[in-house]
Amino acid sequence: MLNPEDIESVRDAIRSCAQADERVLEALCREVRVLKPGVRVIRPRTTTAVSLVASDGGNNRLEFDPFLFQMVRVVDSCGKQLCLDVISPTTDTDALSRRQFDEQHRPVTDLGFLMEELGVRTHHLHDLSPMIPWGAKVREQPEKVGTSWVQVYRDLVEWAVLYRLIVDRRFGTDTLIVRDGLLRSKVFAGDLFIKMMQRIEQAIERVRTEDKRNVYLVGVAKHSKVLQRYQLAMALEDVLPGGEARFVEIPADLEAKAYKWDEWARGRTEAEEGGEAAKFKAGQMYFVRFGSRVSDPVWTIDLLESQTDRAQEVFGYLLADAINGFPVPYYPRCLQSAHEHAQVAGFDSAILQHEVLEAIRDLLPDQRRPILDRAQLDAGDISERRYG
């Protein structure tokens, strides 16, 4: 605990640093002033809103899990399960790759369908994403394989479900599809991400011309380095004044200043102006406030680059969905519903725990199985007993 004299010293040091860095805040304010002319008011519009969410691995809290199992589950905002799989960091990725195809090498999963569409002829996940390790390394050097590839696999599955939802179905009504996260990714090999997004745009155009229906794709981020950098400056400059729901487009040069690598902000427009081609970004960034008060939350949202001319319409649909957001106010309700359905908790978690225990029991000889039973009785957070 800080002593009173320490608090005084810390206060002086903080104020000294703030005064020395005052120019930083002034520079941020100058940068956001250019946004003011582009601020637009949002009017609510009604359409069908659908969201897809993959279950968060952090929700799989198991008492006994030496294998670090992760359930990969994707559901939509109506609760429909679109994918279910279970893997671990030591899962043989050769076998996992084969699981996406049948014996005739035809895709049997959404991920296999995406690999086939993108021309990953080896049918190995490593060639879809270099972040997925080769099976030989997992088998022969498991101690050198990190656990993060499981999250990459989950992201790939979520993208694959989204891809197939758009390119391989018919739409009876205008539909807004909301992704949990921005429309950009670094997990794909080479230009496969941009290739995938171009196919999505082609499918959306096909739906518009053949079915006379509009499909919109947006990505909503819970957190954003760009918003974190400019939020205070925007408040000081009153960029999004109160009274109405509002949005403003964020130029790529402002985006780039918030990133360590500016390629994360390089999209189609920037690539056409010269330099390196876009590889990771397929969305145009906007700051959006769905509430009418200046204190209401501001979200970072990507619109598909080919749909930026429909921004007013798209944000109108999102506003109608976000007005009834619960429990998070002014956050798209379809996303919140999808998260509720995707969560692996309660009875679902109990089933997963039971199956893990049964799998471990099958590995043990009969005389050692009682040890597992005793361990279950002793399980739990001992520290919680202090509240008893």
pLDDT surpasses 80 at 264: no
| Cβ–Cβ under 8 Å, residues 338 and 53 | yes
Q: Could you write out the DSSP letters of every residue in 34-61? A: TTGGG-EE------EEEEEEEPPGGG--
- What is the average per-residue pLDDT within 92-109? 95
Confidence of residue 259 (pLDDT cuts 50, 70, 90): confident
Q: How far is CA 284 from the centre of its chain?
A: 16
169-175 contacts at long range (C-beta below 8 A, 24 or more positions apart):
170/207, 170/211, 171/207, 171/211, 171/213, 171/215, 172/213, 173/47, 173/48, 173/213, 174/47, 174/48, 174/213, 174/214, 174/215, 174/216, 175/47, 175/48, 175/49, 175/50, 175/213, 175/214, 175/215, 175/216
What distance in Å separates the CA atoms of residue 374 and residue 173, rounded to the nearest whole number? 56
What distance in Å separates the CA atoms of residue 182 and residue 215, rounded to the nearest whole number? 17
pLDDT surpasses 70 at 146: yes
Q: What is the DSSP secondary structure assignment for residue 101, as one 8-state letter?
A: B
Confidence of residue 276 (pLDDT cuts 50, 70, 90): low
Q: Residue 258 has which token pair? A: 């918030």
Predicted confidence (pLDDT) per residue in 10-64, tens digit: 888 888 887 877 888 899 999 999 999 999 999 999 888 889 888 764 445 555 4
Predicted confidence (pLDDT) per residue in 294-325, tens digit: 999 999 999 999 999 999 999 999 999 999 88
Q: What is the DSSP secondary structure assignment for residue 315, as one 8-state letter?
A: H
Q: Which amino acid is at 354?
A: H
* CA-wise closest residue to 34 among 216, 257, 224, 219: 257
pTM value is: 0.85
pLDDT value for 381: 53
